[in-house]
Amino acid sequence: MRPGLRVVEVPDGRGSAAEIMRREATALRARIPAGAFIVALDREGEAPDSAGFARRLSQWAGGRALCFVIGGAEGLDPELRGQANYLLSLGPMVWPHMLARAMLAEQLFRAQSILAGHPYHRGARES
């Protein structure tokens, strides 16, 4: 992993959906560095293609910490979602938060490959 790159988990909560989201948001906020650019995964967010995501990633990487926030099974607290600099969707389907992490990791790898000009990303296939 790159220096400074890390995955932080917060424990699953118990109680009502609103209470779980509130406690998760408090725990997540405590882990987000001051001044970080926050990208929240949310099904209502933008769903760029891989090349578009790579372009955005290169814009976001301007010296600030970059934090991707994935909510738990109940989703993200609306207040935390409102604090995000960008809402990213992995598409209109709903994915388990553990699978969303793997999908995001693959898209980050793909975006870095696109930005480096590596042939891993083939883009649109010619017929």
Position 88 in a domain: yes
User: How far apart are alpha carbons 9 and 51 in whole angstroms?
Assistant: 28
Single-letter residue type at 107: Q
Q: Is residue 12 a part of any domain in this protein?
A: no
Question: Residue 72 has what pLDDT?
Answer: 85
Q: DSSP alpha helices (H): ranges in the chain?
A: 17-31, 50-60, 78-83, 97-116
**7 domain residue, yes or no:** no
Could you read off the pLDDT of 70-92 as tens digits, one per residue?
A: 988 888 999 999 999 999 999 88
Within a domain: 91: yes
The set of long-range contacts for 62-65, using a CB threshold of 8 Å and a minimum separation of 24, is 64/35, 64/36, 64/37, 65/4, 65/32, 65/33, 65/35, 65/36, 65/37
Dihedrals φ, ψ of 114, to 5°?
-60, -50
Residue 110 has pLDDT above 50, yes or no: yes
pLDDT range class, residue 125, cuts 50, 70, 90: low
Structure tokens at 47: 């769903």
Q: Give the residue numbers spanning the domain of 24.
A: 17-116
5 falls within a domain: no
Q: How far apart are CA 68 and CA 103, in angstroms?
A: 12
Query: If you average pLDDT over residues 6-22, what whole number do you get?
Result: 81
Write out pLDDT tens, residues 20-59. Answer: 999 999 999 999 999 999 999 998 899 999 999 999 999 9
CATH number of domain containing 66: 3.40.1280.10
28 belongs to a structural domain: yes
Q: Per the structure, how many domains does the chain have?
A: 1
pLDDT band at residue 126 under the 50/70/90 scheme: very low
Considering the domain boundaries, does residue 8 fall inside one? no
pLDDT of res. 127: 39
In a domain, 3, yes or no: no
**Residue carrying the six token digits 């917060």:** 10
- C-alpha 17 chain-centroid distance: 21
| pTM for this prediction | 0.84
pLDDT at 96: 83
